[in-house]
Amino acid sequence: MKSFLLEQENLGTIFFNSRDWRIQEVNHKASQMLAVSQDQLKKKRIPEVISLPKEILLQIKNNKLEPDETVVEHLFFLPNHTILMGLIVKAAQENYYYFMFFSLEETKKQLFLPQLRFFIKDIHFAGLLMDARGNLMYASQKFSKITGYCTRELIGKNFFKTFFTEKNYKLYYQQFIFFLKNEFIPQTMQFPLRRKNGKTVQTLWNLKFLLNTKNEIIGVSGIGLDIGYLTIESQRAFKNEKLETIIANIASMFAQVPTYKVDASINKTLKMVGEYANVDRSYVFIFRDNQQIMQNTHEWCAEGIEPQIENLQAVPSKIVPWWMKFLLKHEIIHIPRVSELPPEANSEKEILQAQDIQSLIVVPMVDNEELIGFIGFDSVRMPKYWANEDINLLKIVSSIFVSSLKRKSTELSLADSERKYRTLFNTAPDLIFILNPEAKIESLNPAFTAITNQKVEEWIGRPFAELLATEDRKLFENRFQNCLKGKFQKPYELKIKTADGIRVLETICSPVSFSGNKKGVYGIARDISDRKMLEENLRHAERMKSVGLLAGGIAHDFNNILGIIHGNYTIIKEQLNQRVDLQTPLESIRQAVERGKTLVQNLLTFARKKEPQYEILDLHQEIKNVINLLRQTTPKTIKFQLHLSKEPIFILSDQIQIHQMLLNLCLNA
């Protein structure tokens, strides 16, 4: 009980020692309400925090109570004049007590309390706390008195098994589980509780979830009232066995309805509540487009009443401004007589009278403070004043509908996301894989077969590392372990073995969770082998460009040298023209200079960059020019053999481009 009370965050809870009044334990809610930190409160004594009457201090000091008995249920005042409703309970440990309290400001939110005070001026409420399994963790003295048990007998007992007949136990327990699962609970509920003597007592309850600091539901708190002694008039407002059965049946139906039957269940519910409330029409409207459009999605009509659902599709919200003013504030719209609507509701009056509606009640449907739609009753045949039980019924049904529609929307979104992911998984050109914590393959998409030319089923369950080139396996293992630890991973390259050789994949991975809190790795790998080849070709072209620039520079310098040699040759030739014995060496010099000029010209042609100049060329001669250049620039071990056609071939082309093409063919051979 102690750990439960300290964990919950709805009631302030202080655990203290009655011998020295020292505070031992404090929950977060108490610290928050008292505006004092938990550590500071543990240094204080109870009288320093709360003003306790002397008679209460004396009663605690005498220590004559049994464990789990309540010392007092009383109003307490804080120094800032805040009023607390609190109770002090004897703990199981000797000399220890719990002080549990809540602000009366919070009770103003409980809608049924003002109604009860309207009927009965002096009401004493029962209180209880139970965990998420329905086991009682606390019961007030008033609750013990109502049920005929001693307080210590109740702690630890299951609320449903103890206070309901075997017939009703499963029904109410199923409702309780439904509320926990869907995280909603009605404002008011009526229970017929079985007393210790076997007799039944009718009770009315206001229930509220108990949350911990993580906003997780850990139980339920309840404030209740014995309504068995109320007047007939008050019982009409709060007691209706048929209504109780309807709500239980609706909750049970939606607790187990599959997504595809939610709409049918809503229509069935509208019929049930419409017939119970004796109305002519019950319906649901849902908003869309940021509450700019409202759409009648579900409708039930009594026999002889004309349906309106076909006429109420895609209705602009702006045509009913008076109506929307209430709904946007999450307020109920109660119209006993449409004919008496105020002038500012003329637009609404005209629309309602066009449907022959004389009276109506509308309850907003709200999810996390957001208006998503509304549920309503229409009376067409005659004006009708709507009782509180009709309004409460609509509130409960509204909560159930919101929860079910939200679940339907979530499940449909998940199904749509799954379909989109499956489409992407099956059609993506990139390899998508999932690895388990042992780096074994859990899943592969069809792109695996396209990239590796291997079957997917042959690799499921095998280590991913077996796909990789040996030199990349250590890199993969390091990246895999870092990914499991949640470390950010940049894309990296892996070489994988395929049926056609090695392919290079650019890979990126992220951690993924499996059932049982196990982690794995989700990865996407893109085949960049062709890109790598294109990059290599580009680098080769850049190198060739550099060679061309270098060759152009060398050619210019060499051409200057040849010019000097040729000039000196001409002078010597003229001076030694009579020397017959020197004519052969001089001719050799001239031929060498001419060959050098040809070589220079070819180098300049290779290095030149300009727009193509098209002309008629002798292809045989151009081939010979290129071969002459190559013979002078390649090792002597390389031999060139020409096999040219006997007939000359003339083409229209750019000489430079022809030379480059022939050079590339020979150099790449």
Give the per-residue pLDDT at 321: 94
Give the per-residue pLDDT at 66: 67
φ, ψ at 139 (rounded to 5°): -140, 130
Which parts of the chain sit beneath pLDDT 70?
Answer: 53, 55, 63-83, 104-124, 184, 186-188, 228-242, 515-517, 544, 547-548, 552, 599, 601-612, 669
Burial class (CB in 10 A: 0-12, 13-18, 19+), 537: exposed
Give the per-residue pLDDT at 231: 45
Give the per-residue pLDDT at 609: 52
Average of per-residue pLDDT values in the chain: 82
Spell out the CATH class of 249-412: alpha beta
Cα–Cα distance for residue pair 259/273, rounded to 1 Å: 21
Parse the chain into domains and list their residue ranges. Answer: 2-238, 249-412, 428-526, 533-667
φ, ψ at 13 (rounded to 5°): -135, 130
Query: Going by C-beta distance under 8 Å and a sequence separation of 6 or more, which residues neighbour residue 178?
Result: 251, 252, 254, 255
Cα–Cα distance for residue pair 398/286, rounded to 1 Å: 12
End-to-end CA gap in the chain: 89
Give the per-residue pLDDT at 565: 86
2-238: CATH topology is Beta-Lactamase (3.30.450)
Pick the CATH number of 428-526 from 3.30.470.20, 3.20.20.70, 3.30.450.20, 3.40.50.720: 3.30.450.20
Domains 2-238 and 249-412 share a fold: yes
Cα–Cα distance for residue pair 65/83, rounded to 1 Å: 27
pTM (predicted TM-score): 0.41
Whole-Å CA distances, 651 to 348, 612, 629: 88, 14, 21
Cα–Cα distance for residue pair 120/190, rounded to 1 Å: 17
| C-alpha 43: how far from chain center | 43
DSSP states of 61-98? HHT-PPTT-EEEEEEEE-TT--EEEEEEEE-SSTTEEE
User: Cα dihedral angle (579, 582, 583, 584), rounded to 10 degrees?
Assistant: 150
CB-based contact 468:494 (threshold 8 Å):
yes
3-class secondary structure, 205:
strand
Q: Which amino acid is residue 68, in one-letter code?
A: D
Cα–Cα distance for residue pair 162/169, rounded to 1 Å: 9
Output DSSP code: residue 206: E
Query: Going by C-beta distance under 8 Å and a sequence separation of 6 or more, which residues neighbour residue 341?
Result: 335, 348, 349, 352
Q: Which helix (H) or strand (E) holds 338?
A: none
Count the alpha carbons within 13 Å of 12 in the hemisphere toward its beta carbon: 23
| C-alpha 516: how far from chain center | 20
Give the per-residue pLDDT at 188: 67
